[in-house]
């Protein structure tokens, strides 16, 4: 935190500020009526930075639970490592939506009735922003492209802005060549989409498409073959590839998952009863290093369905068919922090996202939730 950015009369080391920076967003806004100082606090740049820094160390898991697949009605649950959870809905969007991406406390949602409509929202502050239509041309047999194959959200807390990326593989009508990658990038500052094409061609599973990681000014996806990470550089609007470690790319068949760890790209490899955590320690030289190796024997019955969702230097969240597990990297203890009783329409790992509480705004200002 830069002291020069702190307004007169504000003391960031004060105990009260440290307590307020650790409150849930709803409680923080409720206490705005205490005094003028507390009322102005959530809008102050230095406090937003303090709040987001503390929140980044306390990652959570966002789970979408559909009670009935036919009704399309979903409940959302935020779970932390202390087994505390809170429920909320996205009803304030006044639309039936599904979550497509999550980044630094913001969600990117697409409208179910109209797939050309996208929203970016902060569910904690109940603030939302409907993006301009991503396409004006209606769907037809000549232009059959529908929903984007890849959806990514890049929420930059320091710059207080965000980008939404829609990318899909489309074959030119009546032509033989391989599909081209059409990419659209929305910039929250210009409130407009940019469109460009690329000749790269890769395959993705459903879970690979959902795990988009924002780090170092780029959005990353893991390809189906698990040989490399596909990277979109948002600043230069170019695609490139980062090869995975040889132990993963050339080793025996394993399960690999793409995550973020303290602003760096990370992959988790599950092989047999072992879970290895890799981090891209040198982004430019593409150098990887193992930072932890964890035995999964304590959850042997759940190894097949264990799906890493988010992590910090202290713990790792994993989702199974109907449970959320957390592993403490320091005390080496496994714990069930959330469980769904009875049957659910989808496994929890199918609709679980990394999440954190944040004051990051979609419009540059905050409203009462």
22 located within any domain = yes
Structure tokens, 228: 């490399």
Q: Which domain holds residue 52?
A: 1-56
178 located within any domain = no
> What is the tens place of the pLDDT at every residue in 10-52?
554 577 888 888 877 777 877 777 787 778 887 777 888 888 8
360 located within any domain = no
179 located within any domain = no
> How many angstroms separate the CA atoms of 37 and 40, rounded?
5
Q: Which residues of 118-128 are buried (b: 16+ CB within 10 A; e: fewer)?
A: bbbbbbbbbbb
pLDDT at 168 over 50: yes
**Residue written as token pair 């990038």:** 185
Q: What pLDDT is attached to residue 89?
A: 84
Structure tokens, 138: 């209606």
* Number of Cβ atoms within 10 Å of the Cβ of 49: 19
Q: How many CA atoms lie within 13 A of 79 on its CB side?
A: 29
Q: What pLDDT is attached to residue 9?
A: 52
Q: Is the dihedral of CA 134, 182, 148, 361 positive or negative?
A: negative
**Based on the structure, what is the number of domains in the chain?**
1
Mean pLDDT score of the chain, rounded to an integer?
82
18 located within any domain = yes
Average pLDDT for residues 108-114, to the nearest whole number?
89
If pLDDT is split at 50, 70 and 90, which confidence band does 159 have?
confident
Q: What is the 3-state secondary structure (H, E, C) of the chain?
A: CCHHHCCCCCCCCCHHHHHHCCCCHHHHHHHHHCCHHHHHHHHCHHHHHHHHHHHHCCCEEEEEEECCCCCCCEEEEEECCCCCEEEECCHHHCCCEEEEEEECCEEEEEECCCCCCEEEEECCCCEEEECCCCCCCCCCCCCCCCCCCEEEEEEECCCCEEEEEEEEEECCCCCCCCCEEEEEEEECCCCEEEEEEECCCCCCCHHHHHCCEEECCEEEEECCCCCEEEEEECCCCEEEEEECCHHHHCCCCCEEEEEEECCEEEEEEEECCEEEEEEEEECCCCEEEEEEEEECHHHHHHCCCCEEEEECCCEEEEECCCEEEEEECCCCCEEEEEECCCCCCCCHHHHEEEECCCCCCCCCCCCCC
140 located within any domain = no
Is 278:290 a contact under the CB 8 Å cutoff? yes
13 located within any domain = yes
> What is the tens place of the pLDDT at every residue in 198-209?
777 777 777 777
Residues 6+ apart with CB under 8 A from 280: 242, 264, 265, 266, 286, 287, 288
If pLDDT is split at 50, 70 and 90, which confidence band does 3 have?
very low
Average pLDDT for residues 166-185, to the nearest whole number?
68
If pLDDT is split at 50, 70 and 90, which confidence band does 368 have?
very low
If pLDDT is split at 50, 70 and 90, which confidence band does 135 have?
low
Q: What pLDDT is attached to residue 171?
A: 57
pTM comes to 0.85
Q: Among 64-78, 80-94, 329-343, name the one with the lowest average pLDDT.
A: 64-78
pLDDT at 141 over 50: no
Residues 6+ apart with CB under 8 A from 27: none
Residues 6+ apart with CB under 8 A from 262: 56, 312, 313
345 located within any domain = no
> What is the tens place of the pLDDT at every residue in 65-82?
776 555 556 788 898 888
Q: What pLDDT is attached to residue 6?
A: 53
> What is the tens place of the pLDDT at every residue in 209-219?
778 999 989 99
């Amino acid at each position: 935190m830069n002291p020069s950015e702190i307004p007169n009369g504000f003391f960031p080391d004060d105990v009260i500020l440290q307590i307020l920076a650790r409150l849930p967003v709803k409680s923080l806004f409720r206490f705005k009526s205490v005094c003028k100082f507390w009322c102005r606090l959530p809008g102050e740049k230095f406090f937003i930075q303090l709040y987001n820094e503390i929140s980044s160390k306390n990652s959570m898991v966002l789970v979408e639970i559909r009670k009935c697949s036919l009704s399309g009605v979903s409940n959302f649950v935020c779970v932390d490592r202390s087994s505390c959870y809170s429920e909320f809905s996205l009803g304030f969007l006044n639309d039936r939506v599904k979550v497509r991406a999550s980044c630094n406390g913001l969600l990117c949602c697409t409208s179910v009735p109209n797939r050309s409509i996208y929203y970016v929202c902060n569910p904690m502050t109940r603030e939302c922003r409907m993006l301009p239509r991503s396409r004006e041309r209606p769907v037809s047999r000549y232009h059959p492209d529908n929903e984007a194959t890849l959806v990514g959200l890049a929420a930059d807390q320091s710059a207080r802005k965000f980008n939404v990326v829609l990318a899909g593989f489309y074959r030119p009508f009546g032509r033989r060549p391989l599909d081209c990658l059409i990419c659209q990038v929305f910039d929250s500052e210009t409130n407009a989409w940019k469109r460009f094409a690329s000749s790269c061609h890769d395959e993705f599973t459903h879970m690979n498409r959902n795990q988009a990681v924002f780090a170092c000014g780029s959005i990353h996806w893991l390809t189906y073959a698990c040989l490399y990470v596909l990277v979109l550089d948002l600043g230069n609007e170019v695609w490139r590839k980062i090869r995975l470690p040889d132990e993963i790319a050339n080793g025996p068949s394993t399960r690999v998952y793409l995550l973020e760890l303290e602003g760096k790209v990370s992959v988790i490899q599950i092989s047999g009863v072992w879970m290895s955590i890799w981090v891209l320690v040198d982004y430019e030289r593409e150098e990887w290093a193992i930072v932890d190796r964890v035995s999964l024997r304590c959850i042997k019955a759940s190894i097949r369905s264990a799906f890493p969702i988010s992590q910090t230097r202290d713990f790792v969240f994993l989702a199974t068919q109907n449970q959320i597990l957390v592993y403490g990297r320091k005390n080496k203890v496994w714990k069930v922090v959330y469980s769904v009783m009875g049957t659910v329409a989808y496994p929890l790992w199918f609709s679980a996202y990394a999440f954190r509480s944040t004051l990051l705004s979609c419009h540059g200002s905050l409203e009462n939730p």
